[in-house]
């Protein structure tokens, strides 16, 4: 849906012609680093050309009205009853941004919202974060708020934790806000630093494969992984504050072998290796070294599978078929794991053969993967409006 269409739908839905603001935010994909050291990760990521778009206009009362075009579904709230409700599902993420602007003193009356988008949901591409950021960018423009994007994403991530009671990854907000088309981004979570790399892989397409594996209560497993990683750092650093996994190499695990329980050793070793891989892939991309680029991505998936143990048979099968296909430059699981999706860098003339190889997936697992072709994208932006 383009800017004109969502604007027309918004005006038709709310029966008005008042000035409105329309903004969009892309989804994102992590290529490396998405299971690293908590709050100190090093990510190689990119925004994808699938978007959430949102239109907003003023009301004269204190009501908030929400309309989701794709679902043909309505929700509502008020200034005095602006809280999380499980049954409100998608609109809760809009309310995160509203609550932030309420607390900053910009909102004292109601607003109308219309939302639509094509970011695949619940497979680890940050669709909910894109909802929050598109809403926040629209509201920043609507109220001419004097706040930097850097401060906005930090406050928004914190508001998500307060409003939804869920931890928020600041890296997702930074990537979605600051991405550049044609570029990968290296984001250093410990200092909030972004470095851009020209993708330099024009002959390759990016496919996202939704394994369609249902994920049930993976948060407990992920909390355990984070606990193991923190414990590993504690043992390796011998309680010396300020150290992180970047202070260690593979050799340190040989010296500390007797002090590290096996599970914690494997989790921690993956983090150290992944940090090294981010640097290796950065150099490989700059030199157009497809062999080392590919090797690093496949080795990263092996680590996710064998050391961190966050993969599953369906995901492993998809990556293995990629590895066996001529014209593929790398594949890996992305997102939370235990299902979700993989990404594949593949030459256009190899896609048909790759899709044919995937026909066995349904026979083995009982359902088909969903394939999306993606490209890199710019970050969040205002498309229309100056109320």
**Three-class secondary structure assignment of 59-74:** CCCCEEEEEECCCCEE
| Closest residue by Cα to residue 208 from 351, 69, 308, 326 | 351
d(CA 154, CA 206): 30
CA 33 to CA 167: how far, in whole Å? 18
**Closest to 42 in 3D by CA, of 232, 225, 191:** 191
* Residue pointed to by tokens 């050309």: 49
- Report the relative pairing of strands 111-117 and 63-68 from DSSP bridges: parallel
Q: For the chain, percent helix, then strand, then coil, each to nearest 5?
A: 45, 25, 30
**Pairwise CA distance, residues 369 & 213, whole Å:** 9
Question: Quick one: tokens of 256?
Answer: 């500390």
Pairing state between β 341-347 and 328-334 = antiparallel
Query: Which one of the listed residues 116, 172, 210, 228 is annotated catalytic?
Result: 172
200 to 187, 214, 375: CA distances (angstroms)? 18, 35, 13
3-state secondary structure of 24: strand
Question: Which tokens sit at 329?
Answer: 């430059």
Catalytic residue check, 378: no
What distance separates the 2 farthest-apart alpha carbons in the chain?
A: 71
Let me know the angle formed at the C-alpha of 311 by 224 and 295, rounded to the nearest 5 degrees.
Answer: 115
Q: Which of 303, 234, 302, 236 has the alpha carbon at shortest distance from 271?
A: 303
**Residues taking part in catalysis:** 172
């Amino acid at each position: 849906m383009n800017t004109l269409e969502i604007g027309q739908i918004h005006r038709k839905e709310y029966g008005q012609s008042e000035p409105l603001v329309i903004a969009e935010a892309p989804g994102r994909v992590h290529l490396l680093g998405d299971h690293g050291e908590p709050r100190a990760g090093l990510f190689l990521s990119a925004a994808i050309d699938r978007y959430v778009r949102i239109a907003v206009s003023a009301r004269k009362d204190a009501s908030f009205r929400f309309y989701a075009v794709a679902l043909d579904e309505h929700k509502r709230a008020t200034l005095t009853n602006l809280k999380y409700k499980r049954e409100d599902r998608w609109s809760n993420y809009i309310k995160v941004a509203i609550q932030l602007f309420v607390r900053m003193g910009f909102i004292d009356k109601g607003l109308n919202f219309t939302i639509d988008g094509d970011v695949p949901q619940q497979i680890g591409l940050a669709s909910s974060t894109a909802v929050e950021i598109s809403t926040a960018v629209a509201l920043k423009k609507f109220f001419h708020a004097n706040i930097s994007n850097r401060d906005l994403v930090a406050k928004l991530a914190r508001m998500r934790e307060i409003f939804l009671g869920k931890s928020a990854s600041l890296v997702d907000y930074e990537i979605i806000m600051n991405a550049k088309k044609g570029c990968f981004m290296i984001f250093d979570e410990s200092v909030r630093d972004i470095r851009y790399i020209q993708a330099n892989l024009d002959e390759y397409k990016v496919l996202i494969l939704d394994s369609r594996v249902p994920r049930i209560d993976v948060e407990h497993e992920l909390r355990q992984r984070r606990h193991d990683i923190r414990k590993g750092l504690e043992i390796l650093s011998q309680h010396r504050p300020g150290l992180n996994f970047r202070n260690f190499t593979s050799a340190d695990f040989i010296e500390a072998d007797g002090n590290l329980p096996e599970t914690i050793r494997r989790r921690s070793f993956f983090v150290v290796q992944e940090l090294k891989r981010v640097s290796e892939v950065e150099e490989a991309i700059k030199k157009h070294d497809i062999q080392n680029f590919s090797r690093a991505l496949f080795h990263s998936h092996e680590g996710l599978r064998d050391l961190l143990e966050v993969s599953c048979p369906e995901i492993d099968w998809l990556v293995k078929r990629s590895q066996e296909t001529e014209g593929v430059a790398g594949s890996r699981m992305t997102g939370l794991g235990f299902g979700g999706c993989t990404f594949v860098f593949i030459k256009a003339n190899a896609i048909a053969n790759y899709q044919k190889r995937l026909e066995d997936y349904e026979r083995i697992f009982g359902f088909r993967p969903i394939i999306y072709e993606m490209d890199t994208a710019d970050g969040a932006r205002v498309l229309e409006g100056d109320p």
